[in-house]
Structure 1
Amino acid sequence: MTDLRIRAARSEDAGRLAVLDHATWSPLHAVVPRAEPPLPPFFDAGHPPEDYLVAEVGGSIAGYVRLGFASPLACNRHVRQIQGLAVADSARGRGVGRALLRAVCVKARAEGARRITLRVLGHNTPARTLYASEGFVTEGLLPEEFLLEGAYVDDVLMGRRL
């Protein structure tokens, strides 16, 4: 996609990112209930703009990824964790998610990370397929970790070296 651009998030993106996050909510990947308007602030003290990369297509926000630390421990600072990834329905299947994954791996490596991890729900086959195609492997499984809409769902832990 030639008009795709990945950039650092800015504080002025908050409103558009909150709308995107609300629009892309799905029980396929969410473990919390869908937020009802008025939407909560997108950025907060624990998740500032610098934790996010934003995908733009034709000048419009088409997705985001959030990068955090896997734990607060100093001995674990070499590991980063993807803590959120969303792609607008209108941009799905156009390489936006893949571009965000690749960019966040570059960002993590530039910050000194040696590994990157993530958690994904077991029934989210499209996401698991994307992650696997980008070198992430299943490193753990928490069976029936969540009860979502009346069904027990596994929590899959994935990771890769950088």
Structure 2
Amino acid sequence: MPAPTACSVRVAVLSDETALGGLDRATWSTLHAVMPRPRPPYPPFFDDRHRPEDLLVAETENEAGETVIAGYIRVVPPTPLACNAHVRQIQGLVVADRARGRGIARTLLRAACAAARAEGASRMTLRVLGHNAPARALYEAEGFVVEGVLSGEFFLDGRYADDVLMGRPLVP
């Protein structure tokens, strides 16, 4: 197993759009995506529903010593309703293939939970495909528990896939 990679985490900015869009396309897989494979012309990565301030990005150094984006996590309120303003939902966690297995996803997940706590959230939720064993293992190791399963919710790659709902408290 590779050694953990040092990375820094920051809020995304508009100028990250090209790098994040490329990362999204490069990592697309039915292991985690329910949308069809992106095809040109590619839509903008950021739009009214996908704003830079909703993403944390992890940066590492590449072989040339340049700072590059190694991954991102998108966290948003699940609805605009005041009655669940205490909840944040992970709606995307992506790590570049070259950076996998080095603790980047775990670092992003912990940073997202800390940021949500700092905003006053007391609960984090997410949805993960049932066959995505690596993601499920990470979430479980970080305190998420299965709170529901929508059996056969998606038909991907010629088979049915479960939509697994997970959550965890953010308060210590």
Same fold (TM over 0.5): yes
Where does structure 2 lack aligned partners over 5 or more consecutive residues? 62-66
**Structure 1 residue 32 corresponds to structure 2 residue 32:** no
| Partner residue of 2:152 out of 141, 144, 152 | 144
Match of 1:12 in 2: 15
| Partner residue of 2:89 out of 54, 59, 81 | 81
State the superposition RMSD in angstroms: 0.9
**Structure 1 residue 111 corresponds to structure 2 residue 114:** no
Q: CA deviation at 1:37?
A: 2.3
Q: CA deviation at 1:2?
A: 5.6
Match of 1:72 in 2: 80
| TM-score w.r.t. length of structure 1 | 0.97
How many residues were matched structurally?
A: 162
| Equivalent position SS for 1:157 | strand
Does the 8 A contact of 2:54 with 2:76 survive in 1? yes
**Structure 1 residue 42 corresponds to structure 2 residue 45:** yes
Where does structure 1 lack aligned partners over 5 or more consecutive residues? none
Q: Which whole-Å deviations, capped at 9, do the CAs of 1:34-58 have from their partners, x for residues lacking one?
A: 1112321111111110000000011
Q: Percent identity?
A: 64
| Equivalent position SS for 2:33 | coil
Q: In structure 1, what residue type is equivalent to 2:32? A: H
The 4+ residue runs of structure 1 with deviation greater than 6 A are none
Does the 8 A contact of 2:129 with 2:164 survive in 1? yes
Match of 1:157 in 2: 165
